[in-house]
């Protein structure tokens, strides 16, 4: 028998009643936090990652009802089906095998990794810098890991990123590199991504202007047999002369889950060395094991997914912030923003029905303490939203130049992290209404041991598994992204109009929307000045 959508489950309706209950003043977080052993009961650990949801607005009854949702949706079974390679990406009839990219079980992917390992060894000192040319899932995960590992691992070759189709990005990148010593890694599964190909056109022209052969400076990460696939072309006798080498990515791993495939492994290995990235993969794999094998009630990413559903569906928070108290993790929020919003921003269920409840919320964030000096005013005294606070026990940079007021800067970060979770939860009364803090603002605290590759891998895989679990529970497909297609189609039509005008200045734009016509005319007028 097929599991039903959660809105038709008894547990769902019990949770609605739970929300009514928890919304009463007597269940304010300041009282919930006084429950006996609350921290022990509502926190978990796996290896070097702690997940603490004791400051969420829930009690044991809520947790039990949430676990019923998970059970009724056969969530762990779905997760294992994914691990077994079943076609859990139902709308596209594909498997979702990002976990195989790090557990060594997939011969083809192992082979790609072995080729990457050899390639990185062979590169020697030919290249001093690497530019990753890719957008969205072909770039955000790699950028996050690059930023995260820099303080704990030696950078052999710096990475640069060319994502947006903006010449300012290109101009900024070429200012930083020596063209003779730079390798360009072009990442596109289909090799039809407009932004990436437009940037590749700039790269090729730039190399030629510098009297360099593209074939000596460009490698691709792409699907087998795509127009950018060198190895395939070679084996069929047609040498794709513009490419030094190709590394395969596979249609059973979506962009936003692809950082542990060649997409991330090649550039990150060029940067930190393959052994470091192997440790990163191990950290991911360890969290995958936990997600696939732990009982629901002690399963960290599953619990995090249930809390996300509790907050968005029942307490009706429309957004969630992710605030890492570590600058090394400053690109975590943009990466999870993509991972989560692209995976769960869906309106149709896997049963082809319209889902009548919210599916995915807005994710945003900046590192702490910066965020405290930016938007935390609204967090404390405006419309509330739940927050994931992320702490790192051992700092990245260990050199201490000075202490201030008796503490190190790293301790100062922690004093702020801990103070914020309490201030948001507890609040404060005051005779001056402008100084009243209502409190009752929920948060989770996620702690990793350090900024080493294993910890960063565990953190990444935690959020990946959380996202996948949430999709399974909600009954939506976390692996497709049909919502990006309409804009692409419409952009194509406009591009055609622009190309016609470039070819013949008298061309009158054939577009219906008066605003669009106006802007096109202004754009071409400005171009003539």
Contact positions with its own copies (CB under 8 A) in 211-250: none
Burial class for 27, CB neighbours closer than 10 Å (0-12, 13-18, 19+): middle
Angle, nearest 10°, between helix axes 107-123 and 262-272? 30
Which residue pairs, CB below 8 angstroms and at least 24 apart, start in 176-182? Answer: 176/129, 177/129, 177/131, 178/128, 178/129, 179/206, 179/207, 179/210, 179/212, 179/217, 180/210, 180/212, 181/126, 181/127, 181/128, 181/129, 182/127, 182/128, 182/129, 182/130, 182/131, 182/217
Least distance (Å) between residue 87 CB and its own copies: 15
Active site residue 399: no
Label each residue of 303-341 as H, E or C.
Answer: HHHHHHHHHHHHCCCCEEEEEECCHHHCCHHHHHHHHHH
Residues 177-196 interacting with its own copies (rule: CB under 8 A):
194-195
Q: Which is nearer to its own copies, 1 or 486 (CB)?
A: 486
Q: Is 52 left (phi over 0), alpha (psi -120 to 50) or beta?
A: beta
Active site residue 342: yes
Residues 87-116 interacting with its own copies (rule: CB under 8 A):
91
Residues 439-468 interacting with its own copies (rule: CB under 8 A):
445, 447, 449-450
Per CB under 8 A, the list member of 107, 124, 505, 514 interacting with its own copies is 514
Stretch in the footprint of its own copies (CB under 8 A) among 19-27, 107-115, 272-280, 389-397: 389-397
Per CB under 8 A, the list member of 122, 125, 485, 506 interacting with its own copies is 485
Least distance (Å) between residue 405 CB and its own copies: 6
Stretch in the footprint of its own copies (CB under 8 A) among 65-73, 180-188, 216-224, 410-418: 410-418
Least distance (Å) between residue 22 CB and its own copies: 19
Per CB under 8 A, the list member of 105, 128, 289, 416 interacting with its own copies is 416
Contact string 4-43 vs its own copies (x = CB under 8 A): -----------------------------x----xxx--x
Least distance (Å) between residue 251 CB and its own copies: 17
Residues 283-312 interacting with its own copies (rule: CB under 8 A):
none
| Half-sphere exposure in the Cβ direction for 329 (13 Å, CA) | 32
Contact 341, 483 (CB under 8 A): no
Q: Which is nearer to its own copies, 168 or 238 (CB)?
A: 168
CA–CA gap between residue 363 and residue 51 (Å, rounded): 19
Least distance (Å) between residue 235 CB and its own copies: 28
Stretch in the footprint of its own copies (CB under 8 A) among 9-17, 68-76, 300-308, 423-431: 423-431
Stretch in the footprint of its own copies (CB under 8 A) among 18-26, 283-291, 302-310, 390-398: 390-398
- Is residue 49 a contact residue for its own copies (CB under 8 A)? no
Residues 336-365 interacting with its own copies (rule: CB under 8 A):
337-338, 341-342, 344-348, 352-354, 358-364
Catalytic residue selected from 68, 143, 232, 342: 342
Active site residue 195: no
Least distance (Å) between residue 29 CB and its own copies: 11
Catalytic residue selected from 4, 428, 488, 492: 488
Stretch in the footprint of its own copies (CB under 8 A) among 109-117, 245-253, 318-326, 467-475: 318-326
Which phi and psi (to 5°) does residue 55 adopt?
-100, 20
CA–CA gap between residue 399 and residue 405 (Å, rounded): 18
Q: What is the Rg, in whole angstroms, of the alpha carbon atoms belonging to the chain?
A: 25
Concatenated DSSP letters for 484-508?
A: GHHHHHHHHHHHHHHHHHHH-TTPP
Query: Beta 362-364 vs 319-324: how paired, if at all?
Result: parallel
CA–CA gap between residue 338 and residue 372 (Å, rounded): 23
Active site residues: 342, 373, 488
């Amino acid at each position: 028998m097929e599991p039903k959508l959660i809105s038709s489950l008894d547990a769902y309706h019990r949770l609605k009643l739970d929300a009514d209950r928890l919304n009463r003043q007597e269940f304010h977080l300041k009282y919930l936090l006084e429950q006996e052993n609350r921290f022990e009961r509502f926190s978990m650990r796996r290896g070097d990652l702690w997940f603490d949801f004791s400051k969420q607005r829930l009690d044991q009854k809520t947790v039990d009802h949430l676990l019923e949702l998970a059970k009724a949706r056969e969530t762990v079974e779905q997760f294992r089906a994914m691990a077994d390679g079943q076609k859990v990406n139902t709308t596209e009839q594909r498997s979702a095998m990002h976990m195989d990219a790090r557990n060594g079980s997939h011969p083809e992917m192992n082979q790609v990794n072995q080729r990457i390992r050899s390639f990185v060894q062979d590169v020697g000192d030919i290249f001093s810098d690497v530019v990753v040319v890719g957008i969205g899932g072909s770039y955000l995960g790699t950028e996050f890991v690059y930023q995260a590992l820099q303080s704990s691992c030696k950078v052999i070759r710096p990475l640069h990123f060319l994502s947006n189709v903006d010449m300012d990005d290109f101009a900024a990148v070429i200012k930083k590199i020596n063209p003779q010593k730079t390798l360009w890694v072009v990442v596109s599964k289909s090799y039809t991504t407009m932004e990436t190909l437009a940037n590749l056109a700039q790269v090729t022209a730039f190399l030629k202007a510098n009297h360099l052969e593209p074939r000596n400076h460009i490698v691709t990460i792409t699907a087998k047999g795509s127009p950018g696939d060198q190895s395939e072309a070679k084996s069929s006798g047609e040498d794709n002369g513009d490419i030094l080498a190709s590394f395969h990515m596979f249609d059973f791993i979506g962009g936003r889950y692809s950082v542990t495939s060649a997409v991330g492994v090649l550039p990150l290995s060029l940067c930190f060395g393959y052994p470091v990235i192997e440790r990163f993969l191990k950290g991911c794999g360890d969290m995958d094991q936990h997600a696939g094998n732990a009982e629901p009630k002690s399963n960290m990413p599953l619990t995090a997914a249930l809390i996300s559903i509790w907050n968005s569906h029942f307490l009706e928070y429309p957004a969630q912030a992710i605030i890492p108290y570590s600058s090394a993790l400053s690109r975590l929020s943009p990466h999870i923003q993509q991972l989560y919003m692209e995976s769960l921003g869906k309106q149709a269920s896997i049963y082809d029905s319209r889902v009548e409840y919210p599916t995915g919320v807005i994710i945003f964030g900046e590192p702490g303490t910066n965020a405290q000096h930016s938007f935390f005013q609204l967090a404390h005294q405006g419309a509330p939203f739940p927050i994931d606070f992320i702490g790192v026990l051992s700092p990245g940079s260990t050199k201490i130049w000075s202490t201030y007021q008796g503490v190190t800067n790293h301790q100062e970060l922690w004093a702020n992290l801990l103070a914020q979770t309490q201030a948001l939860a507890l609040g404060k009364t005051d005779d001056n209404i402008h100084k009243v803090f209502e409190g009752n603002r929920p948060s989770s605290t996620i702690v990793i041991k350090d900024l080493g590759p294993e910890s960063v891998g565990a953190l990444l895989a935690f959020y990946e598994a959380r996202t996948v679990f949430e999709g399974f529970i909600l009954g939506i497909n976390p692996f497709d992204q049909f919502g990006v297609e309409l804009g692409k189609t419409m952009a194509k039509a406009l591009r055609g109009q622009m190309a016609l005008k470039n070819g013949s200045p008298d061309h009158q734009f054939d577009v219906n929307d008066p605003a669009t016509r106006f802007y096109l005319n202004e754009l071409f007028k400005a171009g003539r000045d």
